[in-house]
Amino acid sequence: MGLESSKWVIIFLVCWLYKNVSCNSVEQKIYVVLNNTVPCVRLLNATHQIGCQSSISGDTGVIHFLESEADLEWPLSKGPNPPYMVVLESSLFTRSIMMKMKNESSRVAGVAVVIPNTSPPEFSPHTTCPNENTGVYSDNYGPNLAHCNSTVWNPLGNGLSYEEFDFPVFSLNEDNETELIKQCYFDHNRAVNGSAPQYPLCAMQLFSHMHAVTNTPTCMRRNNINYSINPEMVCDPLSDNNVWGSIRPYNDTVFGHKENESVVIAAARLDSRAFFWEVSTGAEGSISGFVTLLAAAQALREVTHEAPPTRNILFAFFQGEAFDYIGSSRMVYDMEKGKFVIDLDNVHSILEIGQVAVHSGTNLFLHSDPVSRRNNTVNDEITNLVKNLQSSTAGLSFLLVEPGVSQPLPPSSLQRFLRARPIPGIVIADHKSAFNNRYYESFYDNAANLNLTYPSNLSPEEQLEFVTDTAKSLTDVATLVARALYKQAGGDESKVNTIKADPKIVTQMLYGFLVSSNNSWFQAMMSPDLQDILKPSPPQYYVGVAMSSTPTRLVQYLLANFTGAATNLTQSQCQKPDELPNESRQMYSYLWVQGIVPPNSTQRDSFCVRASVRLTRAISPAFELGEYASKDYSTWTESRWKFIKARIFLVASRDLEMLTLGVGVAVLFTFLLLTYFVSSKADVLFSSAREPASAAY
Amino acid sequence: MTAAVFFGCAFIAFGPAFSLFIFTIAKDPLRVIILIAGAFFWLVSLLLSSLVWFIATKATNAQDLTLQKDLLIFGCMFSVILQEVFRFAYYRLLRKANEGLAAISEEDGPPLSVREMAYVSGLGFGIMSGAFSMINTLSDSLGPGTVGLFGDSQYYFITSGVTSIALTLLHTFWGVVFFEGCERKRWWVIAVVLCLHLMVTSLSLLNPFYVGSVPPVYAIMLLMAVWAFFSSGGSLHNITLLWTCRKSNTETSS
C-alpha cells in the first residue's frame, strides 16, 4: 500500500462518513415541523386575486384555539400578545368568522383549520352562482335568467374560496400532530383566571409565500420579463387535457368540417375543487357524472359493433370546468377555428350528465335551455331527445321529469356550446332547481356524501368487487344514458333493450375513484409506466397546472379499455403500429396495458388496446390568443411558490430578549475596559516577563 | 429567538475573546500567526477525537440509548486527552520554531518569549473551542422560536454564552500554566491541567442542570486565573505597586 492508495482510502473514508452524518442540533430542541398540512394557495383571474398569502419569511403567531364566535374578541381585540394564529374547528370555519378575521388582519397571523373525519351538516365554499360570467346567460341572452336571477343553484355557498386573505390558511388533519398542538396550547397558552398567560408561549409559523400578485395580465407580463437565462416564472395557467372517444374513429390529422357527418356528443366533467389546494374529491359534483358516462360507453360497445347507429357518438370528458369552463370552452374554440376533428355544424345534439347521485325512488331531471327552445327546430329536437330519454327508463327505478318552469340550464359544459351555436341539448341532474349537493366543490364531497359504504369485514379486494347500492343506482342511470344515446344516434330500435350497463364495472370504478386508486382492477387497466400514479388513497381532482393529472390518465385508459378492442400486437408493435398494414396511428391510439395476473402464473397478461380515444389540450383560449384580460374565456392561473411549511415552537418574551442583548453589550464593554487596563499595565503586573535570552536554546 | 438574542449571545460568548484579541494580539503579526496555528491544532485534535467517537457510534446499535450516552462520555474524555496531547505537541513545535525565529530575527534573541507564546496558544485554543461550541447554537437563535417545547429551560442560549466565556478563558489559563510547567519540567502541572479539564467537561455533562454546572466551572476558572497570574510572573507586590502607582499618579496630576 503506497502513499497513493492510502490517499484514496482516506478520501473514500471521508466521503462515506460525510454521507452518513446526521445532525442532532439545537433546531430539533426548538421546532416541531408539521407534515400533514395543506395550504390554501393564490389563484388569479383577469381582474382579481383570490386565496391566501403569507409573508416571505413566514407568519408567526401565538396559538389560540377558538371556542366560539364570541371568543374571537380575544385574538382580535382583548388578547395581550398579538399577532395570533387562530386554530378553528371545522364547525367554526364559517364566512362570518373568516370575514371578521380578514378585517382585523393586523392581529391575525394566520388560520389553521382542523378537518374532522365526519362531515358537518353542510358546507360549500363555492359561490352561490357558479361560473356566472362565462356561461351562456348574459345581458344579451336571457337577461332575466342571468346571474341566478331566477334560480340560485348553490344556495349553501358561502363564497370563501373566492375571497382574498392576506394571511395564510392551512388545514390540519385530526392526528398526532394536532394533539401535540393542543397539548402545547393547554400547557402554555391558557389564560388562568382571566390574567394574561405567561411567557414562553406556544406559537406556530406558516410559510406559504405566493409569487404572483394582482391579476392574470400582471403575472403573465412578469413571466415574460427576461432578466436572465432562467426567467423566474410567477404563475401558470390552469390546464390539463380533455379526454374524448368516439364509436367510429376519426382521422386525427384531418381537422375541420366533415361532410355528411352528424355527431351526438355525450359530455361529463372530470374535475372539482375545494378551498385548500389540491384536496378535492367531487364525489357528487363530478365523479357521479363521469363514472356514469364511462359505464354507458362500455354498455354501448357490443351493440355499436353489431348494429352501428347512423350518427356517430362522441364521449367527451372535460377538465377544468370548475374554473369557468376551461375544457369545454377550449373544445368549442377548437371546433370554431377548425382545429378539431369535427366542426360545430357536425354536432347534432348534446347530452350532458351532471350531478346524478340518485337514490332509489327519487327522480332525475332533464334541464334544457329555454332561450334556444324558442326556435322551433331546436325545440323539436330537444323534445325528441326527451322522448328518447323517457322511453329508455323502462324497468328502471326512477322517472325522468322536465322541470316545469322556464328555468335556465344549471352550470354545465353545454352552456359553452350554446354560446357558439343554438345546439339542442339536455343536462341530466338529480336536482330540480337548487343543487341537492350540500358540499358542492368542498373537501367534504367524498365517498360518504354518496353513501358509499361497505360492510366492515371485507378486505380491500372484496370491497372492490362488492356492489354497493350507490353503484346499483348509478348503473341504472348509465343504462338509461346508453339507451337514449343509441336511440338518439339513430340505432336499431329492436336492439335497445339489450343495452345494459354492468354494475360490477360501476362499483369497481367507484371504489377506484373514491376509496383507493391502487387496486388490482385499475392496475390491470393501466400501462406499466403509469403504475406510480396509483396510490392507496383516492386521486385528487383539482385541475392543476401539470400536463395530465391522475384522473385524466385514468379516464383515458378506462375509456380505451371500454370502447376499444384488444389486439395481438406485441409491445414494440404497439409503439409503432404504422409498420403494420392494417393499423394506423392516425385513426386510433394504441395503448399498452398491463392486464390481469392469470390464476396460475405470476406474469401479467399484457396486451395492446386499439381505441379511438384521444387527449386534447384543455387550456383556456385566452392564453392561446394572449388576451389575458378576456371576459369571454377563463383566465384562471395559479401562483408559483418556493416552499410551503408549517412548524410550532415556543416564543420568549420581548423582555428576556432585550435582557440578553443588554447583558451581552455589558459583558463586551466590561471586558474591553478590563483588557485595555490590564494590557496597558502589563509591564507592571507581569514584572518578570522578560526571561534571560539564553534559556531558550 | 430573534436578532436581539443572537447579538446578545454572540457578544456574551465572544466579547472576552474579541477584546483580548484587539488589545493584545492584533498589533503583532507573529502573535496572530501563533494564534491561528493554535486554533488549528485544537481543531485537528477535535476532528480526530470525533472521528473515533463517530466510528464507535456507527459500529454499535444506534437504538440503545444508554450505550450511546456512555459512548458520548467516552468520546468527551478521549477528546479532552487528545486536546492536551495536542497542546503538548504545539508546545514542542513552538520551542523548535523559536530557535529558527531567533536566528532570522533582527533583535538579539527570540522575538517572543515562551510566556507570550503560552498565552497566545492558549487563547487560540480557547477561541476555537468557544466558537465551535457556540456557532451552532447561535445560528438557531436567529429563528423566531426558543428552546423549551420539550421541557428544556428557556435560559439555554444565555447559559451557552456564559459557558463559552468560561471555556475560552480556561483554555487561555491552561495554556499559560501548561507551557510554564513544561519549561520547568514540572510534569505534575500537566497532570493537574488534564484533571481540571476532565472535571470541567464532566460538569458540562450535567446539563441541563445549569445550577450544577455553571458555578463550579466559574470557580475553577477563578482558581486557574489566579494560578496563571502567578505563574506568568505576577505577584501581590506587583498589584500593590500598580495600586500605589495609580494613586501616586492621581496625586501628582491633581
**HEC profile for A96-152?**
HHHHHHHHCCCCEEEEEEEECCCCCCCCECCCCCCCCCCCCCCCCCCCCCHHHCCCC
B109 pLDDT more than 80: no
Residue A689 pLDDT class (50, 70, 90 cuts): very low
CB contact under 8 A, B11 and A693: no
Interface test with B, best of A9, A21, A25, A26 (most B CBs within 10 A): A26
Rounded Cα distance, A520 and A599, in Å: 13
- Using a CB-CB cut-off of 8 Å, the residues of chain A touching B11 are 661, 664-665, 667-668
CB contact under 8 A, B15 and A679: no
B52 touches chain A (CB under 8 A): no
Cα torsion A28, A30, A36, A40: sign: negative
In sequence order, which ranges of A195-344 are alpha helices (DSSP H)? Answer: 216-223, 288-306, 326-336
Rounded Cα distance, A527 and B246, in Å: 93
> How far B119 CA lies from chain A's nearest CA (Å)?
12
- Using a CB-CB cut-off of 8 Å, the residues of chain A touching B18 are 668, 671
State residue A580's pLDDT score: 87
Mean pLDDT along residues A366-381: 93
Cis ω on the peptide bond leading into residue A200 (within 30° of 0)? yes
A657 touches chain B (CB under 8 A): yes
A674 touches chain B (CB under 8 A): yes
* Cell 356561461 -> residue: A135
- Using a CB-CB cut-off of 8 Å, the residues of chain A touching B137 are 26
In this structure, the number of other CB atoms found within 10 A of the CB of residue A98 comes to 23
Q: A551: closest CA among A320, A238, A266, A237?
A: A320
Give the ipTM of the model, two decimals please: 0.90
A652 pLDDT more than 70: yes
pLDDT digits (tens, 9 = 90+) for B49-82: 999 999 988 888 778 888 888 888 999 999 999 9
- Using a CB-CB cut-off of 8 Å, the residues of chain B touching A20 are 58
CB contact under 8 A, A697 and B4: no
Rounded Cα distance, A510 and A284, in Å: 11
State residue A696's pLDDT score: 34
Nine cell digits for residue B213: 454546572
Residue B180, H or E segment? helix B156-183
Residue A44, H or E segment? strand A43-44
Which percentage of chain B shows pLDDT scores above 90?
54
- pTM of the shown model: 0.86
- Using a CB-CB cut-off of 8 Å, the residues of chain B touching A664 are 7-12, 15, 161
- Using a CB-CB cut-off of 8 Å, the residues of chain B touching A686 are 115, 232-234, 238
In this structure, the number of other CB atoms found within 10 A of the CB of residue A457 comes to 6
CB contact under 8 A, A672 and B154: no
Residue A340 pLDDT class (50, 70, 90 cuts): very high
Residue A126's φ and ψ, nearest 5 degrees, are -80, 175
Q: What is residue A191's DSSP assignment?
A: P
- Using a CB-CB cut-off of 8 Å, the residues of chain B touching A17 are 51, 54
A596 pLDDT more than 90: no
Residue A359 pLDDT class (50, 70, 90 cuts): low
Mean pLDDT along residues A435-462: 90
Rounded to the nearest integer, the mean pLDDT of chain A is 89
Higher confidence at residue A144 or residue B1? A144
State residue A695's pLDDT score: 35
Rounded Cα distance, A450 and A280, in Å: 15
CB contact under 8 A, A29 and B23: no
Q: What 3-state class would DSSP assign to A317?
A: strand
A668 touches chain B (CB under 8 A): yes
pLDDT digits (tens, 9 = 90+) for B163-203: 999 999 999 999 999 999 999 998 899 999 999 999 999 98
CB contact under 8 A, A685 and B242: yes
A692 pLDDT more than 80: no
Residues 82 through 101 of chain B touching chain A, CB cutoff 8 Å: 95, 98-99
Mean pLDDT along residues A83-108: 92
Which residue in B23, B149, B245 is closest to A684 by CB distance?
B245
Which residue in B114, B140, B149 is closest to A650 by CB distance?
B149
B86 pLDDT more than 50: yes
Beta-carbon contacts of B195 under 8 Å, excluding residues fewer than 6 positions away, are none
pLDDT digits (tens, 9 = 90+) for A118-140: 889 999 999 999 999 999 999 99
Rounded to the nearest integer, the mean pLDDT of chain B is 88
Q: How far is CA A528 from CA A523, A532, A588, A593, in A?
A: 8, 9, 20, 7
A679 pLDDT more than 70: yes
Interface test with B, best of A18, A29, A31, A680 (most B CBs within 10 A): A29
State residue A429's pLDDT score: 94
CB contact under 8 A, B8 and A648: no
CB contact under 8 A, A26 and B22: no
Cα torsion A178, A183, A186, A189: sign: negative
A206 touches chain B (CB under 8 A): no
Rounded Cα distance, B254 and B251, in Å: 5
Residue A1 pLDDT class (50, 70, 90 cuts): very low
Q: Look at strands A169-173 and A37-39 and give their pairing.
A: antiparallel
In sequence order, which ranges of B111-155 are alpha helices (DSSP H)? Answer: 114-141
Nine cell digits for residue A680: 496597558
State residue A40's pLDDT score: 94
- Using a CB-CB cut-off of 8 Å, the residues of chain B touching A206 are none
State residue A620's pLDDT score: 95
State residue A601's pLDDT score: 85
Mean pLDDT along residues A366-389: 93
B157 touches chain A (CB under 8 A): yes
B65-104 and B156-183 helices, crossing angle to 10° = 50
A645 touches chain B (CB under 8 A): no
State residue A295's pLDDT score: 96
CB contact under 8 A, B5 and A650: no
State residue A199's pLDDT score: 85
Residue B233's φ and ψ, nearest 5 degrees, are 105, 5
A254 touches chain B (CB under 8 A): no
A502 pLDDT more than 80: yes
A104 pLDDT more than 90: no
Cis ω on the peptide bond leading into residue A411 (within 30° of 0)? no
According to the per-residue pLDDT averaged within each range, which of A193-202, A389-398, A419-428, A487-496 is highest?
A: A419-428
Rounded Cα distance, A606 and A570, in Å: 9
Q: How far is CA A403 from CA A128, A331, A434, B229, in A?
A: 20, 29, 12, 102
> How far A85 CA lies from chain B's nearest CA (Å)?
14
A649 touches chain B (CB under 8 A): yes
State residue B251's pLDDT score: 62
CB contact under 8 A, B15 and A29: no
A694 pLDDT more than 70: no
Nine cell digits for residue B76: 468527551
State residue A22's pLDDT score: 41
Mean pLDDT along residues A300-327: 94
Rounded Cα distance, A308 and A486, in Å: 9
B199 touches chain A (CB under 8 A): no
State residue B80's pLDDT score: 95
CB contact under 8 A, B161 and A29: no
Mean pLDDT along residues A172-188: 90
Residue A551 pLDDT class (50, 70, 90 cuts): very high
CB contact under 8 A, A648 and B149: yes
Which percentage of chain A shows pLDDT scores above 70?
94
- Using a CB-CB cut-off of 8 Å, the residues of chain A touching B15 are 664, 667-668, 670-672
Mean pLDDT along residues A9-30: 58
CB contact under 8 A, B149 and A697: no
State residue B106's pLDDT score: 73
Residue A457's φ and ψ, nearest 5 degrees, are -100, 25
pLDDT digits (tens, 9 = 90+) for A562-572: 999 999 889 89
